[in-house]
């Protein structure tokens, strides 16, 4: 789901070699990280943090995006510029660097910066799931918002926020002020996208849409229809910009995916907010905790 944690623990590891064979685990700065092999793809692994799925990486094919939410973020990488053209990307939340790998593979020479609070996790991921030396991916061991605050004005084509503390989006990365920082970082024509999680009445998701609409004139949401109906807890992808979004192509790509998805935009999305309040630094709350057993069989 992506993540960004605040608590600190002493790191330890069960292995220092690149991941092969069975599951591996390590207690990092912020929790228990596990790499679980994919039974169907010999060089693919799921990263779990304290039992919650975060990333899926296939070392043999970095263009393969195993998680539904990652494929939807991948669509936005694909639509950020002409095919193959290098772009500048700021990833807020690192995990196993899945989207950074995807961008580097599909858009060679792209310049990418990743904010990942857990330095021990990054060190372990680099050792277990190595990155090609030619890829221009720089990882900063810092809080996502702190990195966003220092990002050059108009210096990024795509900001991807996949920031989770455990299985929840931390409050300081959900606010009007946070969205304004993302807006400031975007180059003309750039886009901001965020992965969030919600369920039930979708109060958090409605507030997040209202918050982005207070900063950006163009906002869209992508999610499983069952999540939008409150039937299950799951991921929702938000995308925002100051210029028109490629709604038709985004809808086509979402519809062609193996997982059901729907794109909301315009009047329907404005109605979706239902009058929800804009989140601010003064009164923001983290996303809701997932129901018990949501990740019972995650990655296994």
| 45, 36 contact by CB (below 8 A) | yes
pLDDT score of 174 = 98
pLDDT for residue 15 is more than 70:
no
pLDDT tier at 21 (50, 70, 90 boundaries)?
A: low
Q: For the chain, what is the mean pLDDT? A: 91
pLDDT score of 294 = 75
pLDDT in tens, 108-154: 999 999 999 999 999 999 999 999 999 999 999 999 999 999 999 99
3-state secondary structure of 231: coil
Q: Which has the higher per-residue pLDDT, 298 or 79?
A: 79
Class of domain 65-272: alpha beta
pLDDT score of 148 = 98
Average pLDDT on 185-203 reads 98
- CA distance linking residue 157 with residue 296, whole number of Å: 37
Enter the tokens of residue 165: 């503390």
pLDDT for residue 196 is more than 70:
yes
Dihedral angle at the C-alpha atoms of 184, 187, 191, 196, nearest 10 degrees?
A: -40
- CA distance linking residue 63 with residue 145, whole number of Å: 28
User: Which residues on adjacent β-strands are paired with residue 263?
Assistant: 222
pLDDT for residue 300 is more than 80:
no
């Amino acid at each position: 789901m992506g993540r960004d944690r605040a608590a600190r623990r002493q790191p330890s590891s069960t292995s220092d070699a690149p991941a092969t064979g069975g599951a591996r685990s390590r207690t990092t700065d912020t929790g228990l990280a596990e790499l679980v092999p994919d039974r169907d793809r010999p060089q693919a692994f799921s990263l779990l943090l304290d039992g919650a799925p975060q990333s899926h990486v296939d070392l043999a094919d970095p263009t393969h995006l195993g998680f539904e939410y990652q494929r939807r973020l991948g669509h936005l990488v694909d639509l950020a510029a002409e095919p193959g053209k290098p772009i500048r990307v700021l990833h807020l939340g690192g995990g196993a660097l899945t989207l950074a790998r995807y961008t580097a593979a599909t858009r060679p020479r792209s310049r990418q910066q990743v904010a990942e609070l857990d330095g021990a996790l990054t060190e372990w991921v680099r050792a277990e799931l190595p990155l090609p030396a030619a890829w221009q991916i720089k990882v900063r061991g810092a809080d996502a918002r702190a990195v966003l605050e220092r990002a050059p004005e108009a210096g990024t084509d795509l900001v991807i926020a996949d920031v989770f503390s455990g299985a929840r989006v931390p409050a300081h990365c959900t606010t009007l002020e946070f969205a304004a920082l993302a807006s400031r970082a975007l180059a003309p024509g750039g886009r901001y996208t965020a992965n969030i999680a919600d369920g039930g009445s979708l109060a958090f998701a409605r507030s997040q849409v209202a918050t982005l609409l207070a900063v950006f004139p163009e906002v869209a949401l992508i999610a499983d229809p069952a999540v939008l109906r409150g039937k299950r807890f799951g991921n929702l992808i938000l995308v925002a910009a100051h210029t028109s979004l490629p709604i038709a192509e985004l809808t086509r790509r979402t519809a062609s995916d193996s997982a059901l998805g729907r794109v909301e935009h315009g009047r329907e999305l404005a109605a979706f907010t239902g009058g929800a309040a804009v989140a601010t630094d003064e009164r923001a709350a983290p996303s809701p905790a997932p129901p018990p057993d949501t990740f019972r069989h995650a990655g296994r």
